[in-house]
Structure 1
Amino acid sequence: MERFLEELLIEPWRIPVIIAAAAGIYLGFMVLAKVFGTRVLMSLTASDAVVVLMFGAVGGRVILGHPPTLAAGLVGLATLMILEAAFGTLRRFTGWGRGLSRQPVLVVLDGEMLPGAMRSAHISRTDVYSSLRRSGLGSLSQVQAMILEPTGTMSVIRTGQPLDPEVLRGLKRA
């Protein structure tokens, strides 16, 4: 019974260590996502999935420490959830955190790829063509605008659709 409780519980001195590790991993991941872009979230190829899984494995290992226990996991998860809620609130009410948030990026305009924007967003021609096919379009000439959203998804506005300039407001490279 004692061994069973050891596997579930946590020494009180480890709680602040887990909280600090979770905060560090959270902030580190946010900075890395800002630097490398949201492309990895766009379409999970096999290599992208491996990277995402490795992020989770490394992050979890750092947060939980040794030995991992149920209580350590719960403290780590609660810390990540609280951080996400806190950053969401800060973004909404103060604008703080916009530096870590990605901006939407215009990558195609009037059927023409924008190479500078694609480079800064880490988007390849293959990614653009993949999004084109997912949108049911057969030609780049059918695209009025293609936007990489902060979520990693691509929004496609077809040629011939009315386009309110407000839709493009705040876009990087617009």
Structure 2
Amino acid sequence: MSEQFTISPLTAVTVVVTTVCIYLTFIVLVRLLGSRSLTVMSSFDFACVVAFGAVLGRTALLAEPTLAIGVVALTTFFGMQGLLGLVSQHRRLDRLVNRAPLLLVRDGGLLHANMRRAHVAEDEVRQAVRRAGLHTLRDVGYAVLERNGTVSVIRAGARVDPWLLADVGTAAGR
């Protein structure tokens, strides 16, 4: 039983390096696939996220996990999450990890290139418009895919402070 509570320095370093690598791989994949892969989930999406977690955890814990290895891996995951929080406070560094909010609708027109880039279907925009209590796409001044994967809708004709849209990517190239 004592083997559950002990860990060699080499194993501890291996767990930390493995955990950092798998964490960074996860961030890169989420960045490539878009933040929507972890928000606004269907039951299939939820099952995939659980599987992601299992793969992340199992990889971080090496072949034969012990309590000590689990503690090191969990501490490393929390440390990486804390580091990510610090990075997000610096705009340039944050852009390496998180996508900028992206304009999906402008003046009642769908921006299809942006929707493709963000992996957002017309149905998702339609749902956001309905949630905003609007009745037609023409009623939408702006619809923005936020960093957290939700879609914000601003009514057409609303006076919008430019500061509110300063961080929003307006074209597929940005």
Class of the TM-score when normalised by the shorter of the 2 chains = 0.7 to 0.9
Structure 2 gap segments, 5+ residues each: none
Q: Residue 116 of structure 2 aligns to which amino acid in structure 1?
A: R
Whether contact under 8 Å (1:41, 1:153) holds in the other structure is no
1:128 partnered with 2:125: yes
Over aligned residues, Cα RMSD in angstroms? 1.9
What TM-score results when the alignment is normalised by the length of structure 1? 0.88
CA-to-partner distance for each residue in 1:94-115, whole Å, 9 max, x for gaps? 7324222211000011121100
Task: After TM superposition, give the deviation of residue 160 of structure 1 in Å.
Answer: 3.2
Q: What's the counterpart of residue 118 of structure 1?
A: 115
The match for 2:58 is: 61
**2:151 maps to 1:154:** yes
Q: How many residues align?
A: 171
Inter-partner Cα distance in structure 2 for 1:127 and 1:37: 14
1:137 counterpart (120, 134, 139):
134
Alignment match, 1:46? 43
Give the equivalent residue in structure 1 for 2:84. Answer: 87
Correspondence 1:22 to 2:35: no
1:80-127 per-residue CA deviation (whole Å, 9 max, x = no partner) reads 121222233234247324222211000011121100000011111111
Counterpart selection for 1:37 from 34, 40, 49:
34
Distance 2:23 2:157 in 1: 42
With over 3 angstroms needed to count, the CA separation of the structure-2 counterparts of 1:96 and 1:13, relative to structure 1, is same
* TM, length-normalised to structure 2: 0.88
Select which of 104, 109, 112 maps to 2:106. Answer: 109
Can you list the C-alpha shifts for 1:7-37, whole angstroms capped at 9, x where unaligned? 3443432111110111011111111111111
2:23, 2:106 → 1: CA distance?
35
